[in-house]
Structure 1
Amino acid sequence: MKMRRWKGFSLLLLVLWAFPIFAQESVPNPDTLVIVAYGEPAELDPATSYSARGWIFIRNLYDRLVQYKGEDATTLHPMLAESWEVSSDGLVYTFYLRKDAKFHDGTPVTAQAVKYSFDRVLKMNQPPSWMLSQMMDLNSTKVIDDYTVQITLTKPYAAALAVFATMTASIVNPAVVEAHGGVVENQENEWMNMHEAGSGPFKLKEWIPGERIVVERFDDYWGGRAKLKRVDVRFYPEIGTRIMLLKKGDADIATGFPAVNIPDILGAEGVVVAPYPSFDIDFIVLGCRGALADKRVRQAVSYAFPYETVIKFVYQGYAQRLTGVIPKGMFGYYEIPEDMRYKLDLNKANQILDKAGYTKGPDGMRIDPNTGKELSAEILVPEGDEVRAQISLLWQNYLKKIGFNLKIRTVTWAVMYQIMRNRESDMLISGWLPDYADPDNYVDAMLRSSNASAIWGSDYNNPKMDELIEKAKWETDPQKRAELYKQIQLLCHEDAPYIWIAQTKQISVHRSWVKGYYYNPVQPMDWFTIYKSAE
């Protein structure tokens, strides 16, 4: 999905409080879950929203055809679809809808609503629409009867069901949308950005921009009533404020804690920090231009990165080594052998640069033989991001030891990615959490030449890589597909267009009265299962 705004390390923190006997009476507002968040979403429309901030609301305001349950991210279960069939050629998906699902205005959820929702995403053509358009077009979805819908893919896609579980594939109420602007090709719907038209377990009560979003329980939900009556999400950009509210018991859950601030929570009375495995990855984009156009330079700087130090001291141990683009635990993962993988090895980094002709000057800094200038590059760091700042400073120190000058430039979040896309800088630290649980969602976004350029501002371009990605994307045989992803990861290791920093863990710290919470690595927090109790 989505780049993290420290998608590098967007942590969900829930804080546990120790209660005395008879503390049940002291559970504050037992029917209301109070979440303090870093910032608010830009929009709530499934066809437009492409951020974790928006998706957590869409998850709970809308339903989809299929869903993951609990912590498992491997098996899809019924949601609006009670059952489904897939043709032998993998092209045709027939979904049989449940007949008791209602939108928040009481109208039934039908096959026509499914077609309307998918066609709407394709027509609006907003950033997340590629997830559907890569495998569907406006002729794909056919209404068989009120509760049967058939979808014919343009090509067989092994991850199709996973796409139907994404927030972008949420089903909207056609009547509500048509009453508020309808569908205009290649345009957002401003009303839908600020309102909702769903069938989920919660419905939107109010949105006060810059202050809070409140949702309330939908009592006619087909899955039964949620345990909570309402969820109140309040926005506090300052982490100190969120920590204070948690410690005082004025908030139940907080989001957006950088790893470096975890010790501030660990010291609080009754706090439990629980790490969960995730598919979130953090990495450095190496713009393949200037000195970094030479893959030998990219390999050398990869050997000058302090992987273990960063994991231990910056991530506070809540991460593990990442050796390639696909995270551990996901289909297609291949672990680069120990004797091949990049690790902190300054001798090897120096040997590579010596052999490539990058000689050292009197000051110990190397000279680029192509320009006659100092071997250097610039990395972008967003203002106020202590995690990225610490990583950059650590790396700068080690790069200096191999004669490479890393210049650190601090910029605002608003312009950082655009600067990189304009080729006005050389590197940036970013991260990725999956839109859906399939390796294609990683390799296509980061290694296909067109996306490496458009998304990350990298000039990485290897026709062989593009060919492998295309083959793997449409291969339906699991063994053949896994082998293709192995080749992709080995080629990526050789080309070194990124430094794979770490696979981060999702940290949950929750007060003892918050119950029923679970973490799923490919879906936002499920408020339906959460309740508050001192027992």
Structure 2
Amino acid sequence: MAGVAAFIVLSPPPATQKTLVYYSQYEIQTLDPADAYDSGSFIPIQNSYDTLISYPLTTINEFAPALATEIPTVANGGISADGLTYTFHLRQGVKFSNGDPFTADDVVYTFQRVIRMNSPSSGVAWIDTQDLNVSSITKVDTYTVQFKLTHVFNPFLQTLATAEPNAIVDHLAVEANGGIVNNQDNSWMTNNTVGTGPYMVQSWTRGQQIVMVRNPYYWGPSGGARYDKVVMLLNVQPSTAISAARSGDATIADIPFTQAASLSNATNIHVIVSPVPRTYMVGFDINSTHSIMANASVRQALNWAFPYDQVIANAFQGYASPLNGPVPKQIYLGTDSMPTKYYSYNLTKAAAILDAAGFTKNAQGLRFGGTALTFWAISTIGWQPTVAQLYQAALQQIGITLDVHSVPDAVRSATQKTNGWDLMIETWGPDYNDPSDYALPFVGSAAIGGDTYHTMYSNATIDAALTDAQSTTNLAQEIADYHTVWTVQNQNPSLIYMCVAQAIAAVSTSLTNFTYNAIITYNFFFYLPASGTSASSMALAATVAPQARSDALRTFLTVFQKLLRA
């Protein structure tokens, strides 16, 4: 999940005791969960809607009931012995923000809508179409629904816990405002929210701000001292966010890696560093007009020539760790299936591979006949141009010219859908906690629903392993399948696996109970005004060591899979 737009300067609204002001680096593309697949849109959707199941505030290692009253298991009868049928009992007495009652009809409608709309703008529907079709979801009674999967799909529950696209919508409101049209967006849903979550959108000025106020019908914990209003300023320049954090205008502010240390001694700010499985890579366009990109030896050499440690130290200021392959170690089975990093910075090896493949230097000391490779980065995200500069300098030492294009995100995104690029920085945040959420979109072919980055990569061995991993009932086989993906990618790479970076936010001491969940991200309802007390112990769970999170996740999901496969 990714999306960053161009920055503009804004004047903040005045913060009151019950108003939270969030200075965000993101733009919002849509408020419709069925076609939202960017970081900015996720935040108001997550805070305005609910899913059937979710995660506790501070962990992605276990599930928590939301609109469902319990997590289905084989033991409680919620999952059939063959792993194909899941039954959910729903909360009663829940209302949407317009007062409409929540029932099983809304759940059935939500999932059928995602599949029928087929996310024409974002492609997010792939999360559901992996294992569901329009006939998969049925109403048993007013407060019971049943899912019949098209095939055994190990991470089914994980997919239900993401608000994009599985936030439950009010079927009466949608039908009153355009309904469902196959393969088309609903413009009313794009611009409005009617959910069961703690907030609802009061106003949205594109490119500037979105204002959320409390949902008067929220079924969850009572309001108490919680924030009555959230103002999310959009596309905020880093310098503006930092100034707002220092002055106290910002309750929460996104800040760049390069500024985190400079704010650490501010008396009215806590810099919260949260380990999250957010991955950063460089993609190869195998179908580029420069045919050399189709050569696996060239892509191997480009991996060996990447200055991994320099990038982590300089571009990310140390707030990152190595990424071993498609699946980061913080995600279930990441360490088991992809235990080490195959590539390191080795210009000697890179040059030797190119020489052996016939791509030797010419009289001017240049390879590829002097043809430059193009490298695309987003100009408004400070670390990306830095990565480009470091890589450009490294490649120059072995006779490769890198033509860097540092451009607005809209230009980069449009270019990615063409064959007019060679290398491009890619980022990914988790949709759900399973290896398939990373490996399939990254390195699966378009034929099996992958190739999110338009690399045109297709490998039959990887496709077969990914398909098997999602449905095998043998845990050892699932690990082996993802290990196969890792092994093949090492020899025939479509990406440079740069690093896993942490999330950084400046949080005012006027706020307490701050948490940051790797998948839920910001859950504003549970943040509290400080009422004069210091927030010195905020977000303890957000700073748990990544390996501890991974170990806990492995333990939980191993037990869960045993129940599923019993």
TM-score (norm 1): 0.90
Q: State the match for 2:183 in structure 1.
A: 186
Task: Indicate yes or no: 2:462 matched with 1:465.
Answer: yes
Alpha carbons of structure 1 residues 199 and 99: separation in structure 2 relative to 1, 3 Å: same
Alpha carbons of structure 1 residues 28 and 407: separation in structure 2 relative to 1, 3 Å: closer
CA shift at 1:436, angstroms?
A: 0.9
Task: Indicate yes or no: 2:330 matched with 1:329.
Answer: yes
Q: State the match for 1:273 in structure 2.
A: 271
Q: State the match for 2:222 in structure 1.
A: 225
Distance 1:139 1:242 in 2: 47
Q: State the match for 2:147 in structure 1.
A: 151
Distance 1:350 1:136 in 2: 48
CA shift at 1:381, angstroms?
A: 2.1
Distance 1:282 1:236 in 2: 21
Distance 1:501 1:277 in 2: 16
CA shift at 1:28, angstroms?
A: 5.5
Q: State the match for 1:41 in structure 2.
A: 28
Counterpart amino acid of residue 251 in structure 1: A
Preserved contact between residue 291 and residue 376 of structure 1 (Cα < 8 Å): no
Alpha carbons of structure 1 residues 209 and 412: separation in structure 2 relative to 1, 3 Å: closer
Preserved contact between residue 238 and residue 256 of structure 2 (Cα < 8 Å): no
Preserved contact between residue 303 and residue 348 of structure 1 (Cα < 8 Å): yes
Q: State the match for 2:538 in structure 1.
A: none
Preserved contact between residue 4 and residue 430 of structure 1 (Cα < 8 Å): no
Alpha carbons of structure 1 residues 182 and 427: separation in structure 2 relative to 1, 3 Å: same
Alpha carbons of structure 1 residues 287 and 208: separation in structure 2 relative to 1, 3 Å: closer
Distance 1:461 1:185 in 2: 29
Counterpart amino acid of residue 135 in structure 2: N
Q: State the match for 1:18 in structure 2.
A: none
Distance 1:483 1:350 in 2: 32
Preserved contact between residue 338 and residue 483 of structure 2 (Cα < 8 Å): no
Q: State the match for 1:31 in structure 2.
A: 18
Counterpart amino acid of residue 74 in structure 1: N
Give aligned-pair identity as a percent: 30
- Judge which range, 312-321 or 342-351, deviates more: 342-351
The alignment partner of 1:501 has SS state of strand
- The size of the alignment, in residue pairs, is 509
Q: State the match for 2:361 in structure 1.
A: 360
Q: State the match for 2:497 in structure 1.
A: 500
CA deviations 1:318-344 (Å, max 9, x no partner) are 000111110112122147566x72111
CA shift at 1:106, angstroms?
A: 2.3
List gaps (5 residues or longer) in structure 1: 11-26
CA shift at 1:270, angstroms?
A: 4.4
1:68 to 55, 60, 67: 55
Alpha carbons of structure 1 residues 417 and 218: separation in structure 2 relative to 1, 3 Å: closer
Distance 2:205 2:427 in 1: 30
Preserved contact between residue 259 and residue 315 of structure 1 (Cα < 8 Å): yes
CA deviations 1:319-371 (Å, max 9, x no partner) are 00111110112122147566x721111111122122222222232222x4xxx
Task: Indicate yes or no: 2:161 matched with 1:162.
Answer: no
Counterpart amino acid of residue 456 in structure 1: Y
- Judge which range, 407-416 or 441-450, deviates more: 407-416
CA shift at 1:375, angstroms?
A: 5.5
Counterpart mapping for 1:183-332 below 5 A: 183-226=180-223, 227-255=226-254, 257-266=255-264, 268-289=266-287, 290-332=291-333
Distance 1:225 1:270 in 2: 28
Distance 1:170 1:337 in 2: 34
Preserved contact between residue 245 and residue 269 of structure 2 (Cα < 8 Å): no
- Judge which range, 206-215 or 67-76, deviates more: 206-215
Distance 1:460 1:305 in 2: 20
Distance 2:358 2:207 in 1: 54
Counterpart amino acid of residue 229 in structure 2: R
Q: State the match for 1:23 in structure 2.
A: none
CA deviations 1:38-95 (Å, max 9, x no partner) are 3431210111211111111111111110000122112111111002311111110100
Distance 1:513 1:305 in 2: 43
CA deviations 1:274-296 (Å, max 9, x no partner) are 32211100000012242222211
Counterpart amino acid of residue 526 in structure 1: N
Counterpart amino acid of residue 230 in structure 2: V
CA deviations 1:471-506 (Å, max 9, x no partner) are 112223322111111111111111121111100011
Distance 1:235 1:433 in 2: 19
CA shift at 1:6, angstroms?
A: 8.7
Distance 1:130 1:228 in 2: 35
Counterpart amino acid of residue 476 in structure 2: Q
Q: State the match for 1:515 in structure 2.
A: 512
List gaps (5 residues or longer) in structure 2: 8-13, 73-77, 534-566
Preserved contact between residue 102 and residue 108 of structure 1 (Cα < 8 Å): yes
The alignment partner of 1:225 has SS state of coil
1:440 to 433, 436, 442: 436
Counterpart mapping for 1:405-424 below 5 A: 405-424=401-420
Q: State the match for 1:349 in structure 2.
A: 350
CA deviations 1:196-224 (Å, max 9, x no partner) are 11111112222233332211112432212
Preserved contact between residue 236 and residue 242 of structure 1 (Cα < 8 Å): no
CA deviations 1:438-492 (Å, max 9, x no partner) are 1111111011121798532313221111111111122233221111111111111
Preserved contact between residue 21 and residue 231 of structure 2 (Cα < 8 Å): yes
CA deviations 1:135-191 (Å, max 9, x no partner) are 111111111111111111111111111111111111111111111111111111111
Distance 1:49 1:233 in 2: 17
Task: Indicate yes or no: 2:115 matched with 1:122.
Answer: yes
| Larger RCO, structures 1/2 (Cα 8 Å, 6+ apart) | 1
